[in-house]
């Protein structure tokens, strides 16, 4: 009975994809937002009086997610400027710099101070470093001779909630820093952020991870707990709400981000680019039509967004993609793009029906009811407009030759079908002058899947690449080939290659079978989204499969959704087994990699599985492992941390996994949202478009 | 039996309020004549510091030794000498106490020292500017100080860790204020320090933003004294009028004329607050307590006194005694006031009857039954307010008695009070000499009390109290260990180096054992090791440091001890990149470059992180060093990449080519990198060629820095197709790519004839479909049609449709006899006109 009520509730209440009962045990990540905001306010208030804020452009996006300009103004910020070379003229005595500890910022700041000194302007300088103090910056300021003039403090900005189940450090360069520069600062910062999380919710009872850097992070976390403040009571108890932390390091699964994402949100990121949850959209999509107060039939038809071609040329404005103000987005974001049209159609019809209700309003009371609903309808209407327009912009992009060709190559490569032909196809794409990042993605994909590309062929392609796009990309090619990244390798490897590179060869073909990466029957796909592979139209992300190896073991081997139909019949007979009427299986306890040890071991990189000791626990208490084996009564959350970033599709896939079980939700934590292009571009040192505009202000 | 509490009470305001003066210690002859000294007292029962007032003449006698040098003496409240400091720096302008009982001494040169009770000090300065101007005066509060410079500006120091002084708003006064005071930041609304200066007739309140003239006309004020909660201000006018106002000068609270006080002789010594609602004015031998309604109490003393404001009263040191004057707390009044009928008084009375075995006890209890819980609580509270253990015990007994009649009662308060009193009685003991009241104790917190005890080297008592209160013993143990290290001498007498090691071993072992046995798990061994190192016990420091789990604490000391490799290894292991940078930057400065590089390189994979971070840092900040680093390690590829990065940033063509050539050379030195070398060779050639091209077109077009493909395209677009062909052959550009480039280039300049000629020049390596698609893409459908015929037969229909040539498509269908395709076309065609035509064609197919 309860189950039918729940399903009917979810059916009638289409705006939220999850029934309310499940939201009860979701971790409330908005606390993190509060913490971040309060930290900023405190940091600003430590400087008395009106102040000029000078902001690191790369922080504007993340800050925009936690605060708004009004709040800053309220706390004495008079004017804001980007931190950029050139003179700075401030009207207030106090100047507050807010930036990440990067050398170039320090140099600009030093330049400002020296310039002011020359012009004999008197200012008080405060530098807020994110997320913590840095010896390096101090040193550079000292070298420049301005350390004495500036007060250095820190503003500890850690996880920022992007959605109610996604938190991110919003560090765009994490991948490059780790795997190209070898700068492990991100790991340390992640460790601190995760410890903050533990401080809020208690210790993760178990830490499971895959990948060398994941292992390093896990070990750092374990080492740092006893050193922290012993009076912190939550760090002395195992978390009630969280059952484990799964750390996936990006190198463990390089294939997934290289593929083109095919969910709605993923595709928007690929095609238009989402930065800190903000996307640049044409103005006309964002502003409601001129006469929104007359929802008659004529108005609703005139409200149709202008055709895609004109949209592309229009002036752009940043728009915050969030479920909070846009319930429709919650329904759309994780859909495969092929299903988006249908969904939009449905919603359009529903809204139309709702509008029509007013004709049935006979009495004044009924009319009043209708007017009451009108506001909600209009918001929905507006978001429908937005997403229809956005999809219309995407459609032509998905129809281009390059796009389809690259999808075809990707699918063939994933199936290991005739790899030499695919490589020739990639070569053709270079000849046609296709986008450099797309070509490189395909090339790396081919190299990983085939275990390297024939040396002669590779050399040819590299030559073509350099001639077509410029010799200045040679360092990029070298970076891609160098360990520990090593995603673009010749085959066979030359004699001199270090052992580590040889060991990092990726066993894709075996994984494909063992982890059921490719859906055998892709035709099914259009009908039901019955496996995580829907996000790539038939390929299941390895990273998410690995998470399933820990948190939903059944899901790796077979389709839980397909099985559901079979089991549906005898479910009532075996209530004790925890098969509920909804057909969803009770989540099993976390037992580490058990059952998949071989598969996991075959992937390069260390595997970790640590049961955290509770510092205060007595010997007589239940050994933690044993206590963990008991199925939990309470629903729990599994935190999945992507070290080096994750894609929107992976988030979508994890949400899907979360829906398959009862009693387990996933909280996705990541160093940032990445896509294949953002990875390649960050290695190449290309800055992504937005954030460089001169206009100052948060998004 | 101790005398009844009420014997020390004195009534005020028609006996509605009582004040009491309790003699805490009797100290006849222990303190010198306070009139001859400048005194500073520390709050919360802390010690007092005395320095001879050089402006006063004193008679030489035995009691006051002749001092040539400046000395500061520190006494506990019980008159015990704690410390004697000799001062050899510039003239002291002010001294005072910090919140954690350290003595701050500030001299006229702007240098200040923080002495702990062992006589160790840290020295800081207010900066060179302050030194030049000179410091005239200062006010020291618990968490900072405000100094008045020679040019009458104000400098503020926040906290006691040597922070840079901040300049407060300039009050713009021309002569020193008559008197002034500071309201500490935690008591002001703005949370920033506020300075009150008595200038002329008025008072200026100054903070770091502005200086506000309060526009008073009653000044000048000889004393300005803010209350402990910072809400009210006691001002003494030159006329002798005491005026109490709120600190925002909006409300006048009380006025009292001190002029006609009997027995007041000479100048007013001090105006201090007694708690937050009464003011104590002292003369040489008189202390006058002025209540909020102008009622007064007065006490006479044998000589000059010194008053220290506490949050709940005032401590008064006189030649004979240390007194504590306070308003009698409500609970004590309630229990002990003669004729009190409050439940607590009845409860207390009942208990007394009970001990006398009088049946009245039961009757009394019955009568207050509903209020018994409150009565018990009040008795407990009253116990906390009593100084005498005798009365404390009686009150607690009364509470215990009352508790027995309650069904449900949480004994936590009772137990806590018992514990607190035990601790308080222990520290009030004259040997210890910390006369702390219960209120002060709750404000100060037990852990700070323990810190105060350890600061006096009373480790045993501190440890016992902390275990009694089940607090962590860490702080005490750390202090103890440091003290032990300083006291112990390496036992190096005679037997040489081995014996010394033994001595260190023994000390280290005893410290570690002590920590383990007492559970001081989170004690920072680094702190202790640092003290050992400072004391010159390097061996001991190293040994202690081994026990330190936190790298962030370990590493700086290791660096100081010149254990470079160990420091670097520990830093890398910690994963804290900032720490690694700390070590790297430190070593880079100290070591010769070669040694520095060797240290990192020899670390191999273990120090890989350090090596990587050095590269990240050097790439931005010190490229020359990075070049040397790569060179010294024979890293040719990295050297080459570094060159390329520089080349990318260069504008000057010649320099760029040279740099690319250097990169090429680096690559060619590595035989694995022949491909890269070849590419760089090509790159240099291309750049040279582009330079030539630009020269040829007289700079009308820019080529420099383009890729090969772009160069060809630019050539084609600007009609230099010969050159394009030459580049193609020079750089062995593949046919396919060349064809695409040419197709795109010619389309972009709409040279369709040229395109046609090109298409005919030879068989297209990219097929003709590409032609069609590209042309359509760029909106040249009409031109595209011509190429459809050359495409593969089976694609033609679709391509025609792409060009919008439905009829041609249909014709193609017809030619091939493909009826189904034609049907499809008909269904998908855009308008009826075409549909009709298609139908005709279909009909004609028969």
10-residue mean pLDDT series, chain B (846 residues) = 81 84 88 86 90 73 60 88 85 89 90 88 87 90 90 89 86 88 87 88 87 85 90 88 88 85 82 90 89 86 90 90 91 88 90 89 86 90 90 91 86 90 90 89 88 87 86 81 76 46 72 74 75 80 79 83 86 88 90 89 85 89 89 88 89 90 91 90 92 87 89 90 91 91 91 90 88 88 87 86 85 83 82 83 77
Contact A446, B757 (CB under 8 A): no
Verify whether the Cβ–Cβ distance B577 to A184 is below 8 Å.
Answer: yes
In sequence order, which residues have a C-beta less than 8 Å from that of residue A613 and are 6 or more positions away?
A624
Span A533-546, pLDDT tens digits? 888 888 899 999 99
The verdict on A226 touching B (C-beta cutoff 8 Å) is: yes
Q: What is the mean pLDDT of chain A?
A: 80
Q: Residue A7: pLDDT above 70?
A: no
Residue/partner pairs of A366-371 with CB below 8 Å, 24 or more apart:
none
Which residues in chain B have Cβ-Cβ distances shorter than 8 Å to A430?
737
Distance from C-alpha of B308 to C-alpha of B41, rounded to nearest angstrom: 6
**How far B564 CA lies from chain A's nearest CA (Å)?**
17
**How far B162 CA lies from chain A's nearest CA (Å)?**
13
> In residues, how long is chain A?
699
Q: What local confidence, expressed as pLDDT, does residue B524 receive?
A: 74
Task: Give the best residue of A471, A496, A501 to mutate against chain B (max B CB count within 10 A).
Answer: A471
**How far B693 CA lies from chain A's nearest CA (Å)?**
17
Span A145-154, pLDDT tens digits? 888 889 898 8
Q: Residue A620: pLDDT above 50?
A: no
Distance from C-alpha of A306 to C-alpha of B401, rounded to nearest angstrom: 86
Q: Can the peptide bond before residue A159 be classed as cis, meaning omega within 30 degrees of 0?
A: no
Verify whether the Cβ–Cβ distance B609 to A184 is below 8 Å.
Answer: yes
Q: What local confidence, expressed as pLDDT, does residue B34 receive?
A: 85
Torsional sign, CA A413, A417, A420, A424: negative
**How far B582 CA lies from chain A's nearest CA (Å)?**
6
Verify whether the Cβ–Cβ distance A136 to B609 is below 8 Å.
Answer: no
Torsional sign, CA B206, B210, B214, B217: positive
What does the buried/exposed string (b/e) look like for A403-416 if buried means 16 or more CB atoms within 10 Å of the residue's CB?
bebbbebbbbbbee
What residues form DSSP beta bridges with B234?
B225, B244
Crossing angle of the two packed helices B608-621 and B593-602, in degrees rounded to 10:
140
Q: Can the peptide bond before residue A484 be classed as cis, meaning omega within 30 degrees of 0?
A: yes
The verdict on A149 touching B (C-beta cutoff 8 Å) is: no
Contact A15, A22 (CB under 8 A): no
Mean pLDDT, residues A379-387: 87
**How far B533 CA lies from chain A's nearest CA (Å)?**
23
Which residues in chain A have Cβ-Cβ distances shorter than 8 Å to B472?
230
**CATH number for the A30-158 domain, one of 3.10.20.740, 3.40.50.2060, 1.20.1180.10, 1.10.760.10?**
3.40.50.2060
Task: Give the best residue of B613, B671, B677, B707 to mutate against chain A (max A CB count within 10 A).
Answer: B707
**How far A467 CA lies from chain B's nearest CA (Å)?**
5
Verify whether the Cβ–Cβ distance A464 to B644 is below 8 Å.
Answer: no
Q: Residue A283: pLDDT above 90?
A: no
The verdict on A227 touching B (C-beta cutoff 8 Å) is: yes
Distance from C-alpha of A604 to C-alpha of A333, rounded to nearest angstrom: 32
Mean pLDDT, residues A213-219: 92
CB pairs under 8 A between A and B: 138
**CATH number for the A285-398 domain, one of 3.90.830, 3.40.1350, 3.40.50, 2.30.170?**
3.90.830
Q: Residue A11: pLDDT above 80?
A: no
Q: How many CA atoms lie within 13 A of B701 on its CB side?
A: 18
Q: Where does A604-663 show beta strands of DSSP type E?
A: 607-611, 636-643, 661-662
Q: Cα B429–B431–B435 angle (5° rounding)? A: 45
- Please tell me which residue of chain A has the smallest CA distance to B685: A471
Q: What local confidence, expressed as pLDDT, does residue B519 receive?
A: 65
Contact A650, A253 (CB under 8 A): no
Task: For chain A, give every residue range classified as CATH 3.90.830.
Answer: 285-398
Which residues in chain A have Cβ-Cβ distances shorter than 8 Å to B705?
470
The CATH code belonging to domain A159-256+605-688 is 3.40.50.1910
Verify whether the Cβ–Cβ distance B609 to A182 is below 8 Å.
Answer: yes
Q: Which one of B166, B575, B731 has the shortest CB-CB distance to A220?
A: B575
Torsional sign, CA B437, B439, B443, B447: positive
ipTM: 0.85
Strand duo B92-97 + A278-282: pairing: unpaired
Nearest of A104, A184, A169 to residue A137 by alpha carbon: A104
Contact B383, B396 (CB under 8 A): yes
Distance from C-alpha of A223 to C-alpha of A215, rounded to nearest angstrom: 12
Span B567-584, pLDDT tens digits? 888 888 888 898 999 999
Contact B492, B503 (CB under 8 A): yes
- Please tell me which residue of chain A has the smallest CA distance to B616: A181
The verdict on A294 touching B (C-beta cutoff 8 Å) is: no
Span B449-477, pLDDT tens digits? 888 888 888 888 888 888 888 887 877 88
Lowest mean pLDDT among A16-20, A596-600, B46-50, B635-639: A16-20
Which residues in chain A have Cβ-Cβ distances shorter than 8 Å to B675?
459, 462-463
Q: How many CA atoms lie within 13 A of B800 on its CB side?
A: 21
The verdict on A188 touching B (C-beta cutoff 8 Å) is: yes
Contact A402, A434 (CB under 8 A): yes
Q: Residue A547: pLDDT above 80?
A: yes
Question: The domain A401-502 belongs to what CATH superfamily?
Answer: Sec1/Munc18 (SM) protein, domain 3b (1.25.40.850)
Q: Which one of B209, B617, B672 has the shortest CB-CB distance to A494?
A: B672
Verify whether the Cβ–Cβ distance B164 to A148 is below 8 Å.
Answer: yes
Q: What local confidence, expressed as pLDDT, does residue A255 receive?
A: 93
What does the buried/exposed string (b/e) look like for B381-398 if buried means 16 or more CB atoms within 10 Å of the residue's CB?
bbbbbbbeeebbebbbbb
Distance from C-alpha of B638 to C-alpha of B628, rounded to nearest angstrom: 11
The verdict on A396 touching B (C-beta cutoff 8 Å) is: no
Q: Residue A442: pLDDT above 90?
A: yes
The verdict on A428 touching B (C-beta cutoff 8 Å) is: yes
**How far B257 CA lies from chain A's nearest CA (Å)?**
40
Per DSSP, A336 falls in state: B
The verdict on A144 touching B (C-beta cutoff 8 Å) is: no
Task: Give the best residue of B129, B188, B209, B576 to mutate against chain A (max A CB count within 10 A).
Answer: B576
Q: Which one of B579, B675, B734 has the shortest CB-CB distance to A431?
A: B734
Task: For chain A, give every residue range classified as CATH 3.40.50.2060.
Answer: 30-158
The DSSP line for A461-503 is HHHHHHHHH-GGGHHHHHHHHSTTT--S-EESPPTTS-HHHHH
Kindly indicate the confidence band of residue A619, based on its pLDDT and cuts at 50, 70 and 90.
Answer: very low
C-alpha distances (whole Å) from A614 to each of A27, A126, A618, B43 are 21, 40, 9, 41
Helix, strand, coil proportions of chain B in percent (round to 5)? 50, 20, 35
Q: What local confidence, expressed as pLDDT, does residue B295 receive?
A: 85
Verify whether the Cβ–Cβ distance B192 to A181 is below 8 Å.
Answer: no
Is pTM beyond 0.90 here?
no
Highest-pLDDT range among A223-237, A582-596, B480-494: A582-596
Distance from C-alpha of A80 to C-alpha of A467, rounded to nearest angstrom: 43
Nearest of A242, A245, A232, A193 to residue A616 by alpha carbon: A232
- Please tell me which residue of chain B has the smallest CA distance to A122: B167
Q: Residue A17: pLDDT above 90?
A: no
Q: Cα A21–A22–A27 angle (5° rounding)? A: 125
C-alpha distances (whole Å) from A685 to each of A181, A472, A679, B450, B838 are 12, 11, 10, 56, 55
- Please tell me which residue of chain A has the smallest CA distance to B638: A475
Q: Residue A237: pLDDT above 80?
A: no
The count of other CB atoms within 10 Å of the CB of residue A298 is 10
Q: What local confidence, expressed as pLDDT, does residue A464 receive?
A: 92
Based on its alpha-carbon atoms, the radius of gyration of chain A, rounded to whole angstroms, reads 27
Which residues in chain B have Cβ-Cβ distances shorter than 8 Å to A142?
none
- Please tell me which residue of chain A has the smallest CA distance to B552: A227
The DSSP line for B413-429 is HHHHHHHHHHHHHHHHS
A406: its two tokens: 């690259």
The count of other CB atoms within 10 Å of the CB of residue A322 is 16
Q: What local confidence, expressed as pLDDT, does residue B498 receive?
A: 45
Q: Which of residues 106-135 of A touch B (CB under 8 A)?
A: 124, 132-135
Q: What local confidence, expressed as pLDDT, does residue A566 receive?
A: 46
Verify whether the Cβ–Cβ distance A216 to B575 is below 8 Å.
Answer: yes
Distance from C-alpha of B771 to C-alpha of B132, rounded to nearest angstrom: 83
């Amino acid at each position: 009975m309860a189950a039918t009520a729940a399903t009917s509730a979810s059916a009638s209440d289409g705006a939220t994809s999850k029934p309310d009962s499940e939201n009860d045990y979701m971790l409330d990540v908005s606390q993190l937002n509060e913490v971040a905001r309060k930290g900023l306010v405190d940091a600003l208030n430590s400087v008395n009086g009106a102040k000029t804020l000078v902001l690191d452009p790369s922080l504007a996006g993340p800050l925009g997610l936690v605060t708004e300009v009004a709040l800053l103004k309220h706390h004495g910020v008079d004017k804001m400027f980007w931190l950029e070379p050139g003179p700075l003229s401030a009207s207030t005595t106090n100047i507050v710099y807010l930036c990440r500890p990067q050398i170039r910022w320090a140099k600009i700041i030093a330049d400002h101070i020296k310039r002011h000194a020359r012009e004999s302007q008197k200012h008080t300088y405060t530098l807020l470093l994110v997320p913590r103090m840095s010896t390096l910056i101090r040193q550079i300021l000292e070298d420049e001779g301005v350390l004495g003039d500036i007060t250095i403090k820190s503003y500890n900005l850690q996880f920022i909630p992007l959605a109610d189940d996604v938190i991110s450090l919003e560090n765009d360069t994490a991948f490059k820093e780790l795997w190209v520069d070898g700068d492990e600062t991100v790991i340390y910062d992640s460790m601190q952020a995760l410890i903050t999380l533990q401080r809020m919710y208690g210790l993760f009872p178990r830490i499971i991870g895959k990948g060398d850097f994941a292992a390093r992070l896990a070990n750092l976390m374990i080492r740092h707990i006893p050193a922290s403040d012993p009076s912190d009571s939550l760090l002395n108890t195992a978390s009630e709400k969280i059952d484990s932390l799964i750390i996936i390091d990006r190198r463990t699964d390089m294939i997934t981000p290289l593929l083109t994402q095919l969910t709605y949100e993923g595709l928007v990121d690929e095609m238009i680019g989402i930065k800190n949850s903000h996307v640049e959209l044409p103005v006309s999509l964002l502003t409601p039509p001129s006469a929104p107060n007359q929802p008659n039939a004529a108005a609703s038809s005139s409200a149709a967004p202008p055709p895609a071609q004109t949209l592309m040329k229009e002036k752009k404005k940043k728009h915050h993609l969030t479920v909070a103000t846009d319930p429709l987005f919650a329904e759309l974001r994780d859909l495969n793009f092929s299903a988006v049209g249908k969904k939009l159609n449905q919603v359009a019809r529903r809204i139309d029906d709702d509008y029509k209700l007013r004709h049935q309003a006979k009495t004044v009371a009924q009319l009043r009811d209708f007017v009451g609903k009108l506001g909600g309808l209009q918001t929905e209407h507006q978001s429908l407009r937005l997403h229809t327009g956005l999809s219309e912009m995407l459609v032509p992009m998905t129809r281009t030759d390059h796009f389809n060709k690259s999808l075809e190559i990707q699918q063939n490569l994933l199936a290991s079908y005739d790899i030499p032909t695919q490589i020739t196809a990639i070569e053709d794409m270079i000849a046609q002058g296709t986008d450099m990042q797309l070509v490189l993605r395909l090339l790396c994909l081919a190299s990983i899947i085939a275990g390297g590309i024939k040396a002669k062929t590779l050399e040819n392609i590299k030559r073509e690449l350099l001639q077509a796009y410029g010799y200045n990309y040679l360092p990029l090619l070298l970076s891609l080939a160098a360990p520990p990244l090593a995603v673009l390798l010749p085959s066979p490897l030359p004699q001199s290659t270090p052992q580590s590179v040889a060991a990092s060869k990726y066993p894709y073909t075996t994984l494909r079978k063992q982890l059921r990466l490719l859906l055998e029957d892709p035709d099914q796909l259009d009908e039901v989204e019955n496996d995580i592979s829907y996000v790539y139209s038939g390929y299941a992300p390895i990273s998410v499969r690995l998470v399933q190896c820990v948190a939903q073991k059944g899901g790796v081997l077979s389709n839980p959704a397909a099985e559901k139909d079979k089991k549906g019949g005898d479910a009532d007979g075996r209530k004790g087994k925890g098969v509920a009427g909804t057909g969803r299986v009770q989540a099993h306890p976390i037992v580490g990699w058990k059952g998949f040890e071989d598969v996991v071991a075959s992937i390069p990189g260390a595997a970790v599985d640590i049961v955290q000791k509770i510092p205060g626990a007595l010997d007589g208490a239940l050994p933690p492992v044993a206590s963990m084996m008991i199925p939990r009564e309470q629903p729990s959350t599994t935190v999945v941390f992507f070290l080096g970033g994750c894609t929107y599709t992976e988030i979508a896939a994890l949400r899907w996994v979360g829906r398959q079980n009862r009693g387990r939700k996933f909280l996705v934590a990541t160093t940032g949202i990445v896509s294949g292009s953002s990875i390649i571009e960050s290695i190449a040192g290309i800055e992504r478009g937005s954030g460089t505009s001169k206009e100052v202000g948060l998004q | 039996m101790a005398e009844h509490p009420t014997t020390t009470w004195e009534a005020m305001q028609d006996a509605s309020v009582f004040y009491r003066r309790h003699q805490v210690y009797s100290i006849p002859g222990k303190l010198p004549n306070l009139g001859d000294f400048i005194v500073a007292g520390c709050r919360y029962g802390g010690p007092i510091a005395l320095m001879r007032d050089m402006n006063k003449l004193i008679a030489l006698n035995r009691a006051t030794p002749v001092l040539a040098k400046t000395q500061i003496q520190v006494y506990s409240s019980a008159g015990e000498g704690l410390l004697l400091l000799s001062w050899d720096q510039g003239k002291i302008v002010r001294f005072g106490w910090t919140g954690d009982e350290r003595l701050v001494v500030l001299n006229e040169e702007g240098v200040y020292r923080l002495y702990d009770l062992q006589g160790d000090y840290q020295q800081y300065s207010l900066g060179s500017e302050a030194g030049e101007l000179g410091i005239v005066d200062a006010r020291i509060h618990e968490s900072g100080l405000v100094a008045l410079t020679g040019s009458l500006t104000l400098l503020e120091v926040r906290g006691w860790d040597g922070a840079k002084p901040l300049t407060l708003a300039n009050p713009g006064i021309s002569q020193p204020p008559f008197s002034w005071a500071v309201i500490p930041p935690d008591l002001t609304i703005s949370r920033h320090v506020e300075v009150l200066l008595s200038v002329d007739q008025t008072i200026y309140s100054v903070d770091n933003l502005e200086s506000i003239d309060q526009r008073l006309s009653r000044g000048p004020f000889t004393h300005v004294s803010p209350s402990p909660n910072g809400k009210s201000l006691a001002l003494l006018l030159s006329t002798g009028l005491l005026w109490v106002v709120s600190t925002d000068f909006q409300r006048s609270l009380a006025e009292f004329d001190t002029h006609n006080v009997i027995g007041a002789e000479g100048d007013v010594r001090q105006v201090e607050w007694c708690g937050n609602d009464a003011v104590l004015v002292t003369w040489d031998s008189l202390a006058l307590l002025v209540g909020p309604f102008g009622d007064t109490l007065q006490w006479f003393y044998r000589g000059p006194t010194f008053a220290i404001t506490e949050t709940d009263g005032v401590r008064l040191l006189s030649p004979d005694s240390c007194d504590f004057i306070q308003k009698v707390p409500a609970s004590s009044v309630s229990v002990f006031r003669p004729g009190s009928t409050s439940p607590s008084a009845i409860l207390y009375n009942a208990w007394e009857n009970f001990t006398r075995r009088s049946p009245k006890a039961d009757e009394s209890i019955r009568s207050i039954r509903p209020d018994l819980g409150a009565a018990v609580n009040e008795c407990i509270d009253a116990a906390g307010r009593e100084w005498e253990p005798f009365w404390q015990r009686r009150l607690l007994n009364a509470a215990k008695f009352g508790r027995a009649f309650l069904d449900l009662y949480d004994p936590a308060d009772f137990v806590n009070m018992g514990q607190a009193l035990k601790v308080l009685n222990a520290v009030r003991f004259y040997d210890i000499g910390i006369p702390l009241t219960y209120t002060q104790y709750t404000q100060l917190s037990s852990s700070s009390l323990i810190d105060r005890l350890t600061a006096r080297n009373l480790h045993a008592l501190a440890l016992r109290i902390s275990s009694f209160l089940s607090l962590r013993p860490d702080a005490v143990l750390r202090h103890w260990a440091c003290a032990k290290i300083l006291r112990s001498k390496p036992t190096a007498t005679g037997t040489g180096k081995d014996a010394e090691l033994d001595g260190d071993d023994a000390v280290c072992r005893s410290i570690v054992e002590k920590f383990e046995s007492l559970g001081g798990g989170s004690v920072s061994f680094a702190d202790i090791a640092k003290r050992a190192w400072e004391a010159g016990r390097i061996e001991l420091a190293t040994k202690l440091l081994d026990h330190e789990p936190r790298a962030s604490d370990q590493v700086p000391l290791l660096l100081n001890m010149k254990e470079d490799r160990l420091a670097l290894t520990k830093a890398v292991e910690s994963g804290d990149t900032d720490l690694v940078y700390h070590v790297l930057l430190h070593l880079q400065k100290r070591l010769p470059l070669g040694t520095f590089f060797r240290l990192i390189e020899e670390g191999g994979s273990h120090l890989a992180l350090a090596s990587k971070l050095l590269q990240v840092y050097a790439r931005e900040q010190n490229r020359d060093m990075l070049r040397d680093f790569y060179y010294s390690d024979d890293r040719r590829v990295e050297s080459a990449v570094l060159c390329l990065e520089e080349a990318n940033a260069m504008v000057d063509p010649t320099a760029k080519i040279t740099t690319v050539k250097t990169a090429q050379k680096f690559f060619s030195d590595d035989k694995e990198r022949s491909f890269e070398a070849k590419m760089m060779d090509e790159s240099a050639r291309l750049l040279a060629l582009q330079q030539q091209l630009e020269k040829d077109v007289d700079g009308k077009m820019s080529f420099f820095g383009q890729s090969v493909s772009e160069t060809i395209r630019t050539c084609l677009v600007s009609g230099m197709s010969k050159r394009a062909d030459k580049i193609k052959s020079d750089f062995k550009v593949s046919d396919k790519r060349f064809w695409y480039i040419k197709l795109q280039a010619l389309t972009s300049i709409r040279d369709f004839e040229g395109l046609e000629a090109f298409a005919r020049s030879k068989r297209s390596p990219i097929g003709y479909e590409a032609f069609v698609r590209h042309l359509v893409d760029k909106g040249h459908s009409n031109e595209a049609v011509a190429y459809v015929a050359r495409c593969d037969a089976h694609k033609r229909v679709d391509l025609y449709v792409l060009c919008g040539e439905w009829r041609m498509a249909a014709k193609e269908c017809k030619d091939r006899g493909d009826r189904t395709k034609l049907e499809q076309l008909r269904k998908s065609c855009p308008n009826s006109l075409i549909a009709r035509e298609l139908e005709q064609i279909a009909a004609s197919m028969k």
